[in-house]
Structure 1
Amino acid sequence: MKLTSQPLVLWRKGLSLAIIVNVLMNIALTPCQGKVIKLKLHHGRRHTDFTTGQRSKRAAQNLHGQSGEGYYIQMDLGTPPQKLNVLVDTGSSNFAIAASPDDQISKFFHTNESSTYEDSGTSVYVPYTQGDWTGELATDMVSLPSLPNITVRSSIAFITRSSNFFINTSDWQGIVGFAYQEISRPAGDVEPFFDSLVKEGHVRNLFSIQLCGAKALANSPSLNLSTNSMDGTMLLGGVSETLYKGNIFYTPIHREWYYEVVITDIHVNNESLKLDCKEYNYDKTIVDSGTTNLRLPDKVFQALVKSVQDKVNIPDWYSSQDFWSGTEVVCWPDLVTVYTGFPTVSVALIMTNNTFFRLTLLPQQYLRPVQDPSDPTMSGFCFKFGIASSTAGTVLGAVLMEGFYVIFDREHKQIGFAETTCPPRGSSSTGPDSKISGPFTQADKHLMSQCAYKKPDQKNGSLMVVAYVMAGVCFLCITPLLVMVIQYQVRKCRGRPRGDNSDTGNLINR
């Protein structure tokens, strides 16, 4: 839905005034037997038909990573191909690869060794929530091992400088953004990699992601982060029935820039936080695989922390504020104590005008396994709180996505969630996996439609004053001239009054 802003209303008013003045001037300057000018108004509507196609029945794990450092996929770039790993990020749109040495990475793309590299001569700067980079825009050939026999020329930013962007233990050397072109840098005019694949007809306009998180918890008696790698699967153009179980629940994409969706409520142990639903979406809610935590606006975050604290059921439990802020690690000798002592957290998403569904996260998801910084060899289970405060809206990051199979159905402008077939984080004694429930009916559908946050334009007041002042000045300047022209036209059409022979004679002599 495109919202109408006050500046646009003012612009339309100004345009209307200009049209009226123009019409009056045409009337005034038209000969007595004036002609009629007809303006044709064109109204177009584009219809697009989509076919569902069949689900892919073959899905091999092609995503890898380390806990808290993101998921990457291998790509072949250039001619001859150079193999590099790139972070999969649904929260950005640029495709960027390291093209110069950096202390945090072991390899980079050598532009001078690719015969298909074509520089555009344009620089680009991209900042993230943490870190930034600067690069040179160019194009080159790209293929993925998971998409055999498919090669596409893609726009790529080749990174020449970065700050706090690369992670020396992550094993990825670039990033590929899967969000919409509108947020691509520098000005929304760089075609994203996935858009290029769709445009050339290689894949359907959808993709799906299964993030399985840290697997050491399921297979080790103690948390050994040296083997605590993450795996997952990404399918471009398809959905695999082997990656989910049960039904797929879809929520509409509210706006196509980030993958923006709308939350209707948040529960802790089935108890609502009871906030205005706009607070959950302040100033947007996005699904972002490139962000580790579930991030919430500060007011929502504080309410959730208080509710979780009130419901923790662990004997002699104590934690400082640093644990809830995500900066302190807490360790327990066994998983059962942790996973049965913390409450569930549920996020409700709009389904239709009056229905919604809930994504329920267990402690297995929002308690993020980490290494004890004071004793890396410690035998036990150490965690950070995987829910954090945000100043840039709600972010449904990897902590939430790891509980589900997520389908980015761009064809139908919706995002699907289904229960994942990833191995459980703990043993069967630690409880079930995260669940989806619904659909539920909301009695007041108007309330749900109002949950999306509408950002006010702080410039409305000043723009309104400027617009009215300019309109007034224009009117004062044009009015005398308009009156004179109209009087002249009237006199020319009707002739001079009787008795005014001097002017008549002058006109005849001419």
Structure 2
Amino acid sequence: MGIFSTLVAASAVADVVIAQRVIPVGFSKPTARLPALHRRGGTYSQELNNNLTGGGYYAQVTVGTPPQTVDLIVDTGSSDVWILDSNANLCHSKTMQSRYGYCLSTYDSSNSSTYSVVSQDAFSIRYVDGSGAEGDYIKDNFSIGGADIKALQMGLAENSTINSGLLGIGFAANVAAETPYPNIMDLFQNQDLIAIQAYSLYLDDLYAATGTILFGGLDTEKFIGELKTVDIQPDRYGNYSSFTVTLSSLTTTADNGTVANYTTRSAVPVILDSGTTLTYVPSSIANRIFRAFGAVDDTSGTGLVFISCDYLDDNKNLTFDFQFGGKDGPVIRVPVDEMVLNNVQEYVELGLDVPSMPFDNVCSFGLQPNSDYYLLGDTFLRSAYVVYDLTNKQIGLAQANLNSTKSNILEITQESGIPDASGVASQVTAEQTATGLPGTGNSNGGQSATTTGSSSTPSGQSSGNAGARAVSAPSWEALAVTAITGLFGLMGVGLVVL
């Protein structure tokens, strides 16, 4: 596996209104690491680092006194924050590192005056791909996006098959501990850092080095048209433990008007999970899509679905259209080239034996079948602007305004919940210059992007120089105009197996 390098420096979110309780947290992109090849009152903003090929998005935080810098995978599909111990087995075993990668960053409890043990050997977590970590539950001070959280309970992993800790930001009911405890989202609110337990996620497109998560707020410059809400669905026991919403339909649309419908008879419960690289849908849907696109399902062998790289040069503006919550619900359009990953050659260099294919230029497909759970991971989320409201059990969805360089941040308050907000009229006008293919080299994932402006085009139309990822909003957004991130096995670590 590849070695993580220093995270790419990323620009800060501009024009944050300090009076609001909104925490901007950025994430950015380390060098690529391929997933394993087997099944498996203010606003605070954090920038997120995009691991382009592996699909991980990383937030840089600090832990302890004095603060120690740690990089964590942002995971909406789990609820524990956990960090790697400086003496973790993975960090000192060359054999393990050859399989799972070098430790990205670690924490040394002996160097923190505010460290305390909550429960020895009580932390144990496994993810759907079989990866996991175990150790103690501890408490220490934790800082993210300028917000200082006192005495956060975290897992301290002494044994791990994951080379980075995780920032689990789901419901507290889903923590790995036998007895639930106040997790990071609880403490954000309990310590009066944000008004309610809510945040918004903006990953930006496949080529973007950075994205942003806003704790306690949303940014109207980062989405197109109307922000529509859908209800989070409880689990079979009536508890809210994951960000499950109903997928009403899945279609493909081309600019020539051709539409193919892959909808099942009933709505499909899907989990919105930033800790998962790919998108997993029912086999009945996936198989029909594979036939339509000439894709080859080899998940039982290599763990991949193969597809022609010709779709990266799509000239029909072909999109996968996901609709949620019924016929009047939000629609997110995902360009086909966001679903096609040019990473197979890297797998080959690592020893992958690609079976014979009916096409010469082989890529992997960012959509796979599953019979146990349905996850919309990063190949979907990059096209969406998502607001997670844990307090009111709602999700807000809108088309992402890709490559946006502006900000207009609104606080999410106890009274309003997710506000009736509208974003920009249409996709930002941007010109991208690709200097390589996804996952093929430099610390930016082999890509560079240059934004030449942010002027608007008429709603529902694409601009001539908007680039391949300039996707206009669905037609139902046309009148809503007003003038911020599985890395392993199953290619995702988000869904916890308890």
Alignment TM-score, normalising by the size of structure 1: 0.61
**1:5 corresponding residue in structure 2:** none
**1:347 corresponding residue in structure 2:** 322
Summarize the Cα distance change of 1:252–1:55 in structure 2 as closer, same or farther, 3 Å threshold: farther
Report the Cα offset of residue 327 of structure 1: 2.4
**Aligned equivalent of 2:200, options 195, 200, 208:** 208
Summarize the Cα distance change of 1:304–1:428 in structure 2 as closer, same or farther, 3 Å threshold: same
Residues 339, 364 of structure 1: 8 Å contact kept: yes
CA distance in 2, matches of 1:243, 1:414: 19
Summarize the Cα distance change of 1:121–1:320 in structure 2 as closer, same or farther, 3 Å threshold: closer
Residues 84, 157 of structure 2: 8 Å contact kept: yes
Indicate yes or no: 2:80 matched with 1:94. Answer: yes
Summarize the Cα distance change of 1:233–1:342 in structure 2 as closer, same or farther, 3 Å threshold: same
Report the Cα offset of residue 245 of structure 1: 2.8
Indicate yes or no: 2:476 matched with 1:438. Answer: yes
Unmatched 5+ stretches in structure 1: 1-52, 167-172, 216-228, 310-318, 441-510
**2:186 corresponding residue in structure 1:** 195
Which secondary structure does the structure 2 equivalent of 1:182 belong to? helix
Summarize the Cα distance change of 1:346–1:421 in structure 2 as closer, same or farther, 3 Å threshold: closer
Q: What one-letter code is carried by the residue in structure 2 that aligns with 1:209?
A: L
Residues 296, 388 of structure 1: 8 Å contact kept: yes
**2:460 corresponding residue in structure 1:** none
User: Alignment RMSD, CA only?
Assistant: 3.2
CA distance in 2, matches of 1:328, 1:275: 21
Which secondary structure does the structure 2 equivalent of 1:185 belong to? coil
CA distance in 2, matches of 1:347, 1:185: 31
Q: How does 1:12-411 map to 2 (within 5 A)?
A: 62-67=47-52, 68-99=54-85, 100-101=87-88, 102=91, 103=97, 104-122=102-120, 123-130=122-129, 131-144=131-144, 146-148=145-147, 150-163=148-161, 165-166=162-163, 173-187=164-178, 189-204=180-195, 205-215=197-207, 230-255=209-234, 256-269=240-253, 270-278=259-267, 280-281=268-269, 285-309=270-294, 320-322=296-298, 327=304, 332=309, 335=312, 338-340=313-315, 343-350=318-325, 355-370=328-343, 372-373=345-346, 374=348, 383-411=363-391
Report the Cα offset of residue 178 of structure 1: 0.9
Q: What one-letter code is carried by the residue in structure 2 that aligns with 1:180?
A: F
Report the Cα offset of residue 362 of structure 1: 1.3
CA distance in 1, matches of 2:25, 2:84: 29
Unmatched 5+ stretches in structure 2: 1-18, 28-46, 92-96, 235-239, 254-258, 351-359, 404-429, 435-464, 479-498
Report the Cα offset of residue 63 of structure 1: 0.5
Summarize the Cα distance change of 1:56–1:124 in structure 2 as closer, same or farther, 3 Å threshold: closer
Corresponding residue pairs, total: 346
Summarize the Cα distance change of 1:201–1:435 in structure 2 as closer, same or farther, 3 Å threshold: same
Summarize the Cα distance change of 1:179–1:397 in structure 2 as closer, same or farther, 3 Å threshold: same
**2:442 corresponding residue in structure 1:** none
CA distance in 2, matches of 1:212, 1:289: 12
CA distance in 2, matches of 1:197, 1:394: 29
Cα deviation digits, residues 217-264 of structure 1 (max 9, x gap): xxxxxxxxxxxx731001111112232232111111122210111111
Which secondary structure does the structure 2 equivalent of 1:63 belong to? strand
Residues 343, 363 of structure 1: 8 Å contact kept: yes
Report the Cα offset of residue 366 of structure 1: 1.3
Identity rate, percent:
19
Q: What one-letter code is carried by the residue in structure 2 that aligns with 1:348?
A: Q
Give the structure with the higher percent helix. Answer: 1
Summarize the Cα distance change of 1:107–1:70 in structure 2 as closer, same or farther, 3 Å threshold: closer
Which secondary structure does the structure 1 equivalent of 2:137 belong to? strand
Report the Cα offset of residue 396 of structure 1: 1.2
Residues 123, 155 of structure 2: 8 Å contact kept: yes
Cα deviation digits, residues 38-71 of structure 1 (max 9, x gap): xxxxxxxxxxxxxxx9796988661113112410
CA distance in 2, matches of 1:202, 1:233: 18
Residues 181, 188 of structure 1: 8 Å contact kept: no
Residues 71, 88 of structure 1: 8 Å contact kept: yes
Cα deviation digits, residues 335-384 of structure 1 (max 9, x gap): 4xx32268421111016xx73232221113211342623479xxx99742
